[in-house]
A = this chain, B = another copy of it.
Amino acid sequence: MAEQTLPATGREWHLVKRPAGWPVPEDFALVEAPVAEPGEGQIVVRNTFLSVDPYMRGRMNDVKSYAPPFALGAVMDGGAVGRVVASRAEGFAVGDAVLHAAGWREYATLDAARTVKVDDSLPLQSYLGVLGMTGLTAYAGLLDVGGFKEGDAVFVSGAAGAVGSMVGQIAKLRGASLVVGSAGSAEKVRKLTEEYGFDAAFNYKEGPVAEQLAKVAPDGVDVYFDNVGGDHLEAAIGALKLHGRAVLCGAIAQYNDTTPPVGPRNLALAIGKRLRLQGMLVSDHYGMQPQFVAEVGGWLREGKLVHEETVVDGFEHSVDAFLGMLKGANTGKMLVALGS
């Protein structure tokens, strides 16, 4: 592929205001910015897909958290994939597919060392989802943090989401005795059992979580994978068996709360049942990456994994995609396609 002429400018999404509660479109601005020529060791990438993720909501607040806050007036960074359109870096040629963290922009000029070349015999967007941080979060959370072992019963909240749907499938492929999940619509619940292979699922909007969980898992569960917090976590603490484990991965139910949420009132049950509740961030588990890519990449090639994507077309709709994801408009991984 021949060297392409770089455009003078490309579009970027900037954060311009910090939201109180739910973010709104006015918190963001679409900005035309220069595309820098690559320096020595650098490449220019034209993005084809970018990722919108729940954790980004936390980064919009100006508080110290696990990821640094987004700067005001700067690009919303985050995972993206694209193709090299200019290179002054050894081993990176025009046309190569790369994964990087430079986020919501059409073009990115980057140190090649801060990007990862990926095998493009699998769809590029896989590296933002099933083979990316999403998949590794599910894999490391279930196996490493959750100590899942063959025969365990597993409950996943936010189960139709990108991480949740992977957790359930990995548990089944690894020999779970029971996999149950919760989601927020009848259609998602249907997908969980009919497409993702969950043994049972329920719509948490249709009744108390604890009651619905008791129906689908009357003997309790060994592992709870928490994407939600709130009522779900309390119900799971009640349902966990002796030596059960809760993987605290997300609390999407609370991200936009402006008042403190109610904590699980039954946490003292953790003493007698010797429960382990453990928070996780995928960044602690990069060491599992080779094992993860080998096992999950294998399942993917064999067609054993269903991994749905909700793709929003057009860079100009990135904010809509993000806000929609926060409200549950997606099934599976939410992506923005920039066109190729």
- Of the candidates A251, A262, A266, A272, the one having the most CB atoms from chain B within 10 angstroms of its own CB is A272
What 0/1 readout, one digit per residue, does chain A (261-278) give for beta carbons within 8 Å of chain B?
111111111111111111
- Of the candidates A254, A273, A278, the one having the most CB atoms from chain B within 10 angstroms of its own CB is A278
Which chain B residue lies CB-closest to A269? B279
- Residues in B with CB closer than 8 Å to A266 are 260, 263
Which chain B residue lies CB-closest to A250? B271
A249 at the interface (CB under 8 A from B): yes
Which chain B residue lies CB-closest to A226? B271
Contact indicator A276/B274 (Cβ below 8 Å): no
Please list 30 pairs of residues, one from A and one from B, whose beta carbons are closer than 8 Å in the complex, sorted by A's number. A58-B272, A66-B271, A66-B272, A66-B274, A229-B267, A229-B268, A233-B267, A248-B268, A248-B270, A248-B271, A250-B271, A251-B271, A261-B265, A262-B262, A263-B265, A263-B266, A263-B267, A264-B264, A267-B277, A270-B278, A271-B279, A271-B280, A272-B279, A273-B279, A274-B278, A274-B280, A274-B284, A275-B278, A276-B277, A277-B278
Contact indicator B260/A65 (Cβ below 8 Å): no
What 0/1 readout, one digit per residue, does chain A (221-237) give for beta carbons within 8 Å of chain B?
00000000100011000
